[in-house]
Amino acid sequence: MLKKMSIRKIMVSSLALFVLLLLYLIPDNTSRELEVKTDDIEYVYSDLVSPIYLLDSNDYIARTTISTCDCNIVEKATNLIDGLIIDGKKNEIIPNGFKAIIPAGTSVNDISLEDKVLTIDFSKELLDINERYEEKMIESLIFSLTSIDGIDKVIINVDGKRLERLPISGKILPTLFDKSYGINKIYDITSMKNIDSYTVYYVSKNNDNIYYVPITKYVNKQKDDKIKVIVDELASAPIYETNLISYLNGNTKLINYEIIEDDIIRLNFNNYILDDIKGNKILEEVIYTISLSIKDNYTDIREVDFLVEDEEIYKKVEKNFNK
């Protein structure tokens, strides 16, 4: 009898120990699994994307998109900078056909935002850039960072000192950078007086993938305003850069336009802007090249409305510029 009771107690105790062991192990494994998932979140992002300006196979700084975090402005800026550094943290998710441009090993010592001005302090490795790409590196940084809503201007420091000149050529740099710095610059001037500039986006392709390349053209001041100049440039043929494309019909004319409340522009075209007159359809590539060009030249614009013979056809608003 005592022997049976002893055996029973041993069995109960053993069972209790086994249950306790299971309870101990299960939470531990769950915790480990959650930690792994948390680590993955740092590098595998959601379907949120942000524009980023990277070097393409033709040595243009081109606009594409990259996965980003659902985070504040400074964190998003840091995230994009990671994508611009060669062999950086985002190297594995850079789209095919594009390359980072900031020298490998560059790090951010400090970054802060005040009154829509982003100040970045880079490590000295930023200066280890090939002369061919030193200006393109600045263009890539400025256009990527000012594409973030809430950043209008950028200050660049290196180890606590303002970057006053390009590191190799010694070209003098402005104190504050914004999109007026230009990108993929082309000079078509006959005099050093009354120089003006405007930026136009063209289409380029990598295999079957379409992306957009901004070109800043420097000219002596013209009679027409920039909006008309942009449309005329996109409608002109042939394009001065043979590997850049415009899908805008050469007979397209901007009849008139109006800016409403400083942030909405309504463009009224003739029907040659339509890809399909019966279906009242405008090609996506036409919408993007015009909208992006206007937005970079008129930074307050948040919505571009397309009209054909006074009939509204399409609206391009800021929240879907990143698609």
- C-alpha angle with apex 88: 82 to 90, nearest 5 degrees? 65
Nearest to 159 by CA among 230, 237, 107, 88: 107
pLDDT digits (tens, 9 = 90+) for 9-57: 445 455 555 544 444 444 444 333 323 232 333 444 457 899 999 999 9
pLDDT of residue 14: 54
Alpha helix positions (H), the chain? 2-43, 73-84, 134-145, 226-235, 284-297
Q: What is the pTM of this model?
A: 0.83
One-letter amino acid of 62: A
pLDDT per residue as tens, the chain (323 positions): 434 444 454 454 555 555 444 444 444 443 333 232 323 334 444 578 999 999 999 999 999 999 988 899 999 999 999 999 999 999 889 999 999 999 999 999 999 999 999 999 999 999 999 999 999 999 999 999 999 999 999 999 999 999 999 999 999 999 999 999 999 999 988 888 888 899 999 999 988 899 999 999 999 887 678 999 999 999 986 566 668 999 999 999 999 999 998 899 999 999 999 987 677 899 999 999 999 999 999 988 999 999 999 999 998 876 556 55
Nearest to 300 by CA among 178, 215, 213: 178
pLDDT digits (tens, 9 = 90+) for 240-280: 666 899 999 999 999 999 999 889 999 999 999 998 767 78
Q: Where are the beta strands (DSSP E) in 61-145?
A: 61-67, 98-99, 108-114, 117-122
Instruction: Write the CB contacts of 50 (distance below 8 Å, at least 6 apart in sequence).
Output: 65, 66, 68, 76, 79, 80, 147, 148, 322
Question: Distances from the Cα of 24 to the Cαs of 12, 19, 20, 31, in angstroms?
Answer: 18, 9, 6, 11
Return the exposure string of 80-97: e unless at least 16 CB atoms fall within 10 Å of the residue's CB, then b. Answer: bbbbbbeebebeeebeeb
Whole-number Å distance between alpha carbons of 86 and 89: 9
